[in-house]
Amino acid sequence: MSKVLIMPCLDIKDGRVVKGVHFVGLQDAGDPVESARAYCDAGADELAFLDITATIEGRKTMLETVKKVAAVTTVPFTVGGGIKSAADAEAVLAAGADRVSMSSAAFRNPALIDEAVKLFGREKVVVAIDVDKNAALPSGYEVYVDGGNTATGKDAIEWAKEAEARGASIILPTSKACDGAKTGYDLPLIRGIKEVVSAPVVASGGAGSKEHFLEAAQAGADILLAASVFHFGEIAVPDLKEYLAGQGIAVAK
């Protein structure tokens, strides 16, 4: 990927955009349709929609909300949360998503990645990985599932490598320790995954300043995802792009 892309993320709970810290303490951050429209108008390159409680609550993705957001979205639109089968993925794509993002279900049943790639094409499949530090594992990073609530004992770098080998077109790791803390992305995690995959890697979890986005791009991230700083007006997408370009980072116009 020649240019770094900016990807606001809409974390959805009960039909509203929310944002927390370390996956908890959720605050309301607005209407998803209004947010999506505003980000597209502001020049965002991608948009993510994550139904953050679907897996925990044992339900499917909120398709009606996906449809409403898709109707106003003019950039590639990735949807995740509650996608447990190829049929779930098909329904989300039919609702207007450009890609599906799978996490817990893909980890528990890796063949789901192969199946989705075969049915819908590699470019439609993203594998998201919730990650926390664990010094006992080779890379120092462990995969978590169920919205970041359940440790798996699996090395996160190894899982990223396997996910790409099975056909994932994008790897989206989110650092649980950094999420919402605004102290910066987990740069060693980004570098570690970039060393073992050729697919684009999303930086997710921890952006608090323009410098943090720059650091992630310099660490090798292809897509820069953030939520809080965009939702609460701390950083505007056009300003961020201008800053990154001024630092020598190629960005989409």
**Which are the catalytic amino acids?**
11, 130
CB atoms within 10 A of CB 241: 21
Secondary structure letter of residue 85 according to DSSP: S
How far apart CA 230 and CA 106 sit, in angstroms, is: 29
The Cα 114–Cα 95 span in angstroms is 22
Task: For the beta carbon of residue 201, count every other beta carbon within 10 angstroms.
Answer: 26
Between CA 23 and CA 10 the distance in angstroms is 14
Q: Give the whole-angstrom CA distance, residue 46 versus residue 32.
A: 15
Centre a 10 Å sphere on the Cβ of residue 119 and count the other Cβ atoms it contains.
14
HSE toward the beta carbon, residue 170, CA cutoff 13 A: 29
Question: Which has the closest alpha carbon to 201: 240, 168, 167, 173?
Answer: 173
- Residue pair 155/142 in contact (Cβ under 8 Å)? The answer is yes
Closest residue by Cα to residue 22 from 149, 232, 180, 189: 180
